[in-house]
Structure formats: C-alpha cells, structure tokens
Amino acid sequence: MSTQGYEEELRSERGYVAGLYTRLDAERVRVKGEYDAALLGTGGTPMERDDHVRASAREMRRLSVADNGLCFGRLDTLSGEHSYIGRIGLFDEENEYEPVLLDWRAPAARPFYVATAVTPENMRRRRQFHTRGRQVVDFTDEVLGRPGGEERGDAALLAAVNAPRGEGMRDIVATIQAEQDEIIRLDHPGVLVIEGGPGTGKTVVALHRVAYLLYTHRERMERHGVLVVGPNPSFLNHIGRVLPSLGESDVVFVTTGDLVPGMRVTAEDTPEVARLKGSLRILDVLAAAVADRQRLPERPVELDLAGAAVRIDAETAQWAREEARDSGLPHNEARAVFTEIVTYVLTERALGRIGRGWLSRRDRDAWERMRADLVKELAEDDTFTAALDELWPILPPEKLLAQLYTSPERLRAAGGDQALLRADGDAWTVSDVPLLDELVDLLGRHEPVDQTAERRRRAEAEYAARVLDSLVSRQDSMDDEDHLFATDLLYAEDLGDRFVEHDTRGLAERAAADRDWTYRHVVVDEAQELSEMDWRLLMRRCPGKSFTVVGDLAQRRSEAGATEWATMLEPYVPGRWVYRSLSVNYRTPAEIMTVAAALLAEFAPGVTPPDSVRACGVAPWSRRVSEDELPAAIEEFVRDEAGREGTSVVIGPPGVPGAVAASETKGLEFDAVLVVAPDRILADGPRGAAELYVALTRATQRLGVLHEGPLPAALSGLVERGTPAEVQRSA
C-alpha cells in the first residue's frame, strides 16, 4: 500500500472507530436511564425490580470497560466484506440489529485468531489496530492465503510480551494465539485441565475461557456466577482486572482461605500437618470427633418432674442416641430427636407414677394434657437442659475443631495423629478451611447464617400480623357487611413482596457472603497445590462439576498437593475431565528459560520445559557477596530498577530484608527479578527446587542472582558479575 493510500485508509478507520465510540456513549446514556428508572420504579414485584436493577447495572459495567481498545482489528473476507472485532459487541438498531462491532467471542470472530497463511478460513486479510485511548494510532495488515506466508500475530504478539509490565495482568484479547483459542472455545461440560510451564499464559487463557463461557451460556451461568480460586491475595489482585476489562463482573475471586465466609487465616501449618489435614483420611477423624461428643451419662441424672423422681440413665440415653444417629440428620439438628426420645421416656415414667390409681392411657385427653404440662416443665428445667448440653451439645464447627486440636484425649478418641495438636486452637490455617467446611455439613446449622434473610423473615411475620389485624378490625367495624371484598384478600406472595428490601447487591457480593452459594463454573489456579480435602470442598461449591483447572505439576510445593491430575479428579468426575497443555512460553525470554530449564532437569527430569517465543538480549547474571555486602547489593538493584519503566521484585528465603517468598509470586510476572540466596531456597524443605524454579521464571526481561556461598550447580548457566566497581572497570 502506498503512503498516500495508507493515510487515506488510516483516516477512514479512525472515522469508523470514532463512530463506534459515539454509539457506545449513546448506549451508556440509554442504559443509565434504564438503571435510574429501575431504582425508582414501582411496577412489578420487588424481585422483578431487583432483577431489573441488577441487569441494568451489569450492562452498565459491560459498557464501561470498553474505552481502551474498543475495536482492535478487522477481518476482510474473500468476497470483500469487512467485520470489525472488539471487546464487546455493538449493533445498528436501525438496520435490523446488524453488527457494527463483533464481540471477540462470537463465532464469526474466530478466524481473527486461528486463520493462517495455509488455512485462511475464507479470509483475505487480517488488520490489527494499534490504539491509544480512543484514538487509532496506526494499523498493520496481514494478507492471508499466500504460500509460504508466516502465521499471524508475530509483530503484535512480540510488542505485547516485550512491553513493560504494569500493576496487573492484561487481557490478551487482541493477541490470542491459535493453541490458546482452541482451549478458550472448548465447550466441554465437565472439568478441563490446562497445564503449562511458566509463562505459557495458562491463567489468562482460563480467564478468557470464563469470558467465553459467560458469553455463550449467559442465561445458564449468570444467575449463579463463576468462582475463581487463586493461591494468594497478590495473585488475585494481579488477575482481577482481566475479566472486568472483557465486560464480565459476575465473578467471585477468593483464595482457598476465603472459602468459608467469616473465617480468618492467621497461622501456617508445617508440611507434615498440612499433609495430614489434606488427606481424605481426616474425614474419619472428624466423624469420630463428632460421635465422641454424643455421650452417655457416667451416672444417672436425677430430676424432679411434678413431684415424681425420674432420671436419665445410660439405657435411656443409648436409645435416644441410636434414634438420633439413625435419623440421618446433622449433629445439631439431630439433637431434637435425642431430646424427643429422652423427654418421652421421662414423661412416661413420671405419668405412670403421678397418675397411679386414677389416670390411665384410656383417658387419652387427660393423659396428653398432663404430658404437655410435663414437657413444658421439663423444657424449663435447668438440670435437664444442662444434661442435654453435656450428652448432646450444640456444636459450632470452630468450637469442635479448636477443642480437638487442643485436647490430646479428644484427639486420641477420634483416632487423630498427635501432630495435629497445637496450643492455640483458634489459630486457623489454610488447611483448616476444608475441615471447617466439612464440619458445617456434619454438624448442621447452629445459628442463622444470613442475618439479612433472618431480618426479612421477621419483617414478613410482623407485616402479615399487622395486615391480618387490620382486616379483622375492618371486619368488626362493618355494620351490615358479612364478607370481605376481593381487594381485601392478600396472598402469601403479596405479603412477601411488601416487606422485601431493595437488594441491589451484585451477584459477586451476594455469593461471597453465602457459604451455601453454588456456582455454575469454577476456575482453580495453581491447582497442583490443592489437597484432596480442598477438592472435596470445591466440588460442593459446583454441583454441575464444571471446572477450568490451571496448574503445573512441576511447580508443586505443597506436600498435600497433586502428583497427578487423575488422583484428584477421577473420584468426582470419572471420565468427565479432559487435559490440554500449553507449550509456548510468552513471558520468560530464552536466555532466562535456559537457566531455569537446567534446574527443572534436575528435580523433574521427565518434564519438558516450554519453548520461549522470544529472546531479550540480556544475559541473566549472578554475583557472589558476603553477608555484610548483601543489603547494599539488594539496595543497588532496587535503586537501579526504580529508574526504569516496569516492575521489579526481590525474591528470597525468610530473613532476607525486602524480599518476598517465591510462593507469594506464583502466577505473577515482573520486568526484573533479583533472586537472593538460591542455596537456602533449595534447602527449604523437599520442594525447595520447585520454589527456586518459580523464582527464576518470574522475569520478563532481566534476572539477577545474589549468593553468599557457592552457586548451586544447576545455575551454572548464569553469567558471573563482579562488584559495581569491577563492572565499571571492565566496561
């Protein structure tokens, strides 16, 4: 294309994209008006109004994310037709809703990602826009179908992966590669496992798959939403912008420590204790711990019931316990059965003694009246209540587990390993989360979980009582009328509609606060770290068993984590899970990956490292320092990187000033990384090599290593660097 022709095309494209933004702004005004009207609306039921408010709010959020990169490409067919591709879809309402901008997830947009010179998908040209804000800066074209032509995206892809990193993960909607697109659009109803080494983009592919599923199955998924589980808060902050940037907000982001609302993780288990808690064998311990609290009296409990001496003996409690257990109810709910049996026995004995000589069962009404009086008396008896609390106590999950951890006797009675003992029973760890969640089901509810729902139930009862009082008063005041008008009749649904408060909370906010919320789809990142008990918890959160699982077995650190995917998944989705792998490293340059691959070969020789898509031209280096020199060397790195564009991090073992643990950087990426004391990282437990592998592969441009002792042999590929003065002299 000539320079003049290019400039004319550029002006034309700028005009078209400007028109899209004009249409976008008009849509925003229209939807904002609908939202305001829904908030003030009086028509329909409160539930219908709330649904309208949420739908309008969701559409406002969808439209709000598209300012940057609204339209990023164009496809030209062999017949000369044009299709513009963007973050969201826009339509011409005056022309039978003709699409003026295709959502990147639409089937018609797929050739933008998969067409190649060899398989052009009936396309003649792919055009990629480079934008700044709302302005099209320039564009590049790729003509398809020419023999020997290269596959798409090299220029755009390399520009994206070489760009300095910002504060969070960016979407890849404009540069999705063919192998990624195949996974994103995979319509598998069960569990999809995406495995890939560092930098292969598995996390961002999983998030784009969520956006695709929400687009293609909107009606089925939007009422329940999507759960995304990540390894730590930093990781969730890092990835948190991706789905909103694609117009999706009905997503809950949590760590495994957040999966039980209201619980706060404050401690950390040793690897051995984490392994014990993570195994399914802990289920027997929990069940036994609950059963151990269903006691028989060591001595009969003496009671006075209407002057008759009765007692709760072991035989009575045994019968009541068997009936309660056979009911199949959770422990706290089964207490009602236990209480009912004990109450029946005690009142029967009391009736026989009180009524001897004058009361018989044949006088049924008198017998039952007296029984009712005795039941009421028994319920108000403090000794009886104390006996019930001793024999069948109401147990919150936290109380049961804390007492189990702090009592050698209770732990022994439950068959638990004494390694589980600890001084502070309430110092919860991540490994305790699935155990507490399991106990919620074993024990049942001990108090209302959703106080909002409880308030609404009370309001409903109070409102219904007021309405009925009003109707009775109106009836009493009628002189000649002996009936109510039809307009006076209120049904249960009408009563419910009157008291419901306007709940405008989004789905994510409602779901995150509700332990019993179930999701339509769950994404699990760094899934190799999850234990068998973690998987049991997550499967409860998604009855449909629709998951996208992301991980790399070679990076596993947890003793309770996965050694193979089948072990974790087959018990829940036998034959319903599929495996896909990503083999191209888009993050780690070849120079750094060569060093990391040498380490990988030592601790996971059967794993093939991913192929880096680029080189950065900067050799990763190492430098030996003394203990006294180490702080200054770290400060030097921080100071140098502060003057550069992009992000940086210092990774090291505990005790290194200013350093974070490698586990805290999982899934993250930085322009520059300084790894401190690699020998100490390697020595930190059985998975130290995996920790070091993670640390080495976080950098997108520059990697340095500081070591006090000899450099580990696996890192011999690093270029040894002297002191700053030595480097200056050699230059």
Q: Is the pLDDT of residue 497 over 80?
A: no
Poorest-pLDDT segment among 174-178, 383-387, 573-577: 174-178
pLDDT tens per residue, range 370-428: 889 999 999 999 999 999 999 999 999 999 999 999 999 999 999 999 999 999 999 99
Residue 414 CB contacts under 8 Å (≥ 6 apart), including other chains: 285, 286, 288, 289, 292, 404
Ligand-binding annotation for 567, yes or no, is: no
Residue 95 CB contacts under 8 Å (≥ 6 apart), including other chains: none
* 587 — pLDDT class (breaks 50, 70, 90): confident
For residue 359, the model assigns a pLDDT of 64
Ligand-binding annotation for 658, yes or no, is: no
Q: Is the pLDDT of residue 155 over 90?
A: no
* 327 — pLDDT class (breaks 50, 70, 90): very high
Q: Is the pLDDT of residue 708 over 90?
A: yes
Q: What is the mean pLDDT of residues 474-479?
A: 46
Task: Rank 51-65, 230-244, 408-422, 653-667 by mean pLDDT and report only the highest.
Answer: 408-422
Ligand-binding annotation for 199, yes or no, is: yes
Which of 289, 280, 279 minimizes the C-alpha distance to 443?
A: 289
The full DSSP string for 335-375 is: HHHHHHHHHHHHHHHHHHHHTTTT--TTSHHHHHHHHHHHH
Rounded Cα gap, residues 483 and 470, in angstroms: 14
Ligand-binding annotation for 230, yes or no, is: no
Q: Are 103 and 90 in contact (CB under 8 A)?
A: no
Planar angle of CA 588, 589, 590, nearest 5 degrees: 120
Residue 626 Cα distances to 623, 629, 723, angstroms: 10, 5, 11
CATH of 590-728, one of 3.30.420.40, 1.20.1530.20, 3.40.50.300, 3.90.780.10: 3.40.50.300
> What predicted TM-score, i.e. pTM, was given to this entire model?
0.79
Residue that wins the pLDDT comparison between 481 and 22: 22
Neighbour count for residue 208 (Cβ, 10 Å): 25
For residue 495, the model assigns a pLDDT of 39
323-346 in b/e form (b: 16+ CB < 10 A) is: ebeeeeebbbbbbebbbebbbebb
Rounded Cα gap, residues 652 and 571, in angstroms: 38
Ligand-binding annotation for 133, yes or no, is: no
User: Would you kindly state where each structural domain of the chain is located, as residue ranges?
Assistant: 3-151, 191-260+518-576, 272-443, 447-472+485-514, 590-728
Residue 483 CB contacts under 8 Å (≥ 6 apart), including other chains: none
Poorest-pLDDT segment among 224-228, 447-451, 614-618, 705-709: 447-451
Rounded Cα gap, residues 114 and 444, in angstroms: 51
Q: What is the mean pLDDT of residues 44-53?
A: 78
| Percentage with pLDDT > 70 across the chain | 85
* 447 — pLDDT class (breaks 50, 70, 90): low
Ligand-binding annotation for 197, yes or no, is: yes
Q: What residues are paired with 308 via a beta bridge?
A: 305
Ligand-binding annotation for 277, yes or no, is: no
Q: What is the mean pLDDT of residues 450-465?
A: 48
pLDDT tens per residue, range 184-215: 999 898 999 999 999 898 999 999 999 999 88
Q: Are 147 and 120 in contact (CB under 8 A)?
A: no
For residue 436, the model assigns a pLDDT of 96
* 731 — pLDDT class (breaks 50, 70, 90): very low
Q: Is the pLDDT of residue 451 over 50?
A: no
* 36 — pLDDT class (breaks 50, 70, 90): confident
Q: Are 561 and 275 in contact (CB under 8 A)?
A: no
Poorest-pLDDT segment among 35-49, 87-101, 152-166, 268-282: 152-166
For residue 159, the model assigns a pLDDT of 63
Rounded Cα gap, residues 231 and 471, in angstroms: 58
Q: What is the mean pLDDT of residues 459-475?
A: 48
User: How many Cα atoms within 13 Å fall on the side-chain side of residue 273?
Assistant: 16
DSSP, collapsed to helix, strand or coil, labels residue 395 as coil
* 728 — pLDDT class (breaks 50, 70, 90): very low
Residue found by looking up tokens 């009370």 in the block = 458
Rounded Cα gap, residues 570 and 545, in angstroms: 12
Poorest-pLDDT segment among 96-100, 262-266, 687-691: 96-100
Q: Are 89 and 63 in contact (CB under 8 A)?
A: no
Q: Is the pLDDT of residue 292 over 90?
A: yes
Report residue 520 as tokens. Answer: 């339509």
Q: Is the pLDDT of residue 51 over 70?
A: yes
pLDDT tens per residue, range 507-544: 778 888 888 999 999 999 999 999 999 999 999 999 99
For residue 450, the model assigns a pLDDT of 41
Rounded Cα gap, residues 652 and 676, in angstroms: 5
Q: What is the mean pLDDT of residues 492-498?
A: 39
Average pLDDT, the chain: 85
Question: Is CATH 3.40.50.300 the right assignment for the domain spanning 191-260+518-576?
Answer: yes
Q: What is the mean pLDDT of residues 211-228?
A: 87
For residue 268, the model assigns a pLDDT of 93
pLDDT tens per residue, range 94-108: 877 889 999 999 999
Residue 691 Cα distances to 257, 261, 562, 664, angstroms: 21, 30, 16, 10
* 472 — pLDDT class (breaks 50, 70, 90): very low
For residue 689, the model assigns a pLDDT of 92
Q: Which residue type, as a one-letter code, is found at position 468?
A: L
Q: What residues are paired with 391 via a beta bridge?
A: none
Rounded Cα gap, residues 119 and 122, in angstroms: 8
For residue 60, the model assigns a pLDDT of 87
Residue 23 Cα distances to 2, 28, 105, angstroms: 32, 9, 20
For residue 166, the model assigns a pLDDT of 62
Ligand-binding annotation for 561, yes or no, is: no
Rounded Cα gap, residues 243 and 169, in angstroms: 10
Q: Is the pLDDT of residue 150 over 50?
A: no
